[in-house]
Structure 1
């Protein structure tokens, strides 16, 4: 040893200023927050101060530890239910005060009413657990369906069944996600509505059948089966609901219809003025052929995409003169070019080349 060396040996850093000590403090935040939110909050403040004052970390590491302590407290407290409002139920307390005033006496501890557990069937699971704690019951929860799904956001679940044990002061809630139907019993399959068979029905009849089956009509989309007609809106189809008929449907009969299912109805429209008055073999393969089509040869039935034939006399779908012909159907064949007519709604129509090059009625 050099007797002339006066430099003191380097001192070791205290254990409570080391990185492992701070990490242990962060873990303590999570543990205590799960037991007591106020205590976890105090330890979180201490961890934040320690992150900036004790270890020799860079500024961004200290900032990360600060946010980490905060989120550890929130996550741990939320999972354990510490963030729920478990204070006394004001409605129960108010009812007790009213009863006490009615009898004009101050209740003694032995006379105080014991809160009764309310029936929370059909209510939010979060509300049910809050009310159970206010009545001094310990709540439990599980999925009422056979799926055994984890319940994370309790406010998004609805209570279907509750089983209480008054001796143990505990209650178990069986719930399903909001918008789902409750099963007939706890653990039974969810009774989703099933798709009825509406093929061949008029639009009005089909809508009634869907509504009676419990299917949300907002989930229904409409399309046409003809190449020369556009799909109607729901309002347009309802206005002439006995002329529109369902040719195809999706999903098939007896299929489950869940909130994510879209119901498709492919519609065909015909009246007494139309020669073809039935659905095609498949979608988008046939034209709607009206009476009076100058290119139609007078067949009683046709599934061809185009037809040829002799002349035809005047009718609601076409004319042989150049003047007006009265009520016509948009998209129907017509002749000669330049003839005029109106729809049942009074919209002026003119006969002219359509997208396929053949004369059809369209708005003037």
Structure 2
């Protein structure tokens, strides 16, 4: 081959192919600007400035955490019960009523027999309050009233835990029957049975004017639960003296 032979000319370059409209530089630049601007609107300023996106923490790409956990309300300590007012005066009330009044005032109640008998208080309607003291506080936070109680028909003892002092039988001898009944009623005796002191004299339907010669129970005897006791009175007519002992005869039997 001849090294000096002339080099044939290069083939002509093909004509430039026109680029699609979406790949032209101007459109690409505009697309970048649109995408960048949309990102700012959607996600905020990545520099953490005042224009950062909603819910995005300053200087962070993560949403802001809540200031307090959602369970804070559930774990909040329960508020203390309001301190009740001055305790109500329950002395003299029946136990059932006393419990209701105490509960309405914000107090719990415990009870004990105020006498020396230590009986259980099973029927709240059958007991009354003689003493009340503060009994501390229960786990629930309510203060407690300790009530010393006795049977409704019983008098209160002189002090909590002491023996109940029952009334004593009054001396009604010599009194008219109507007056004797008033004296017995004053100490709680409701049942009175009059009888003629003479076996040969019949007691009238209305012995109000007859006088008492003998009585049972005897004067001065303690009457426990007087509402259930019965007083037996021996009466003589207004115009007759009392005999030396009951069941005598007013008129001696004629001698043969």
- The TM-score normalised by the length of structure 1 is 0.42
C-alpha displacement at 1:113, in angstroms? Answer: 7.4
Q: Counterpart of 1:122?
A: 92
> Equivalent of 1:223, from 180, 187, 195?
195
C-alpha displacement at 1:115, in angstroms? Answer: 4.0
C-alpha displacement at 1:268, in angstroms? Answer: 0.8
Matched, 1:282 2:254: no
- CA RMSD, Structure 1 to Structure 2 (Å): 2.7
C-alpha displacement at 1:167, in angstroms? Answer: 6.5
Matched, 1:186 2:170: no
Question: Residues 113-145 of structure 1, C-alpha deviation per residue, up to 9 Å, x if partnerless?
Answer: 734421111112122223323333231100111
1:1-364 matches, cutoff 5 A = 114-165=84-135, 169-212=143-186, 214-216=187-189, 218-233=190-205, 236-238=206-208, 241=209, 244-257=210-223, 258-271=226-239, 277-286=240-249, 288-289=250-251, 305-308=252-255
Equivalents in 1 of 2:134, 2:242: separation in Å? 58
* Greater helix share, structure number: 1
Where do 5+ consecutive residues of structure 2 fail to align?
A: 1-78
Higher relative contact order (CA 8 A, sep 6+): 2
Whether the 8 Å CA contact 1:223–1:232 is kept in 2: the answer is no
Aligned to 1:252, the other structure's residue is in SS state coil
C-alpha displacement at 1:211, in angstroms? Answer: 4.2
C-alpha displacement at 1:221, in angstroms? Answer: 1.2
Cα distance change, pair 116–232 in 1 and its aligned pair in 2 (3 A): farther
Cα distance change, pair 152–113 in 1 and its aligned pair in 2 (3 A): closer
**How many residues in Structure 1 have an aligned counterpart in Structure 2?**
171
Q: Which moved more, 1:128-137 or 1:252-261?
A: 128-137
Question: Residues 25-72 of structure 1, C-alpha deviation per residue, up to 9 Å, x if partnerless?
Answer: xxxxxxxxxxxxxxxxxxxxxxxxxxxxxxxxxxxxxxxxxxxxxxxx
Equivalents in 1 of 2:179, 2:155: separation in Å? 25
Equivalents in 1 of 2:207, 2:156: separation in Å? 34
- The TM-score normalised by the length of structure 2 is 0.58
C-alpha displacement at 1:188, in angstroms? Answer: 2.1
Aligned to 1:131, the other structure's residue is in SS state helix
C-alpha displacement at 1:284, in angstroms? Answer: 2.3
Whether the 8 Å CA contact 1:146–1:189 is kept in 2: the answer is yes
Whether the 8 Å CA contact 1:164–1:171 is kept in 2: the answer is yes
Where do 5+ consecutive residues of structure 1 fail to align?
A: 1-108, 272-276, 290-304, 310-364
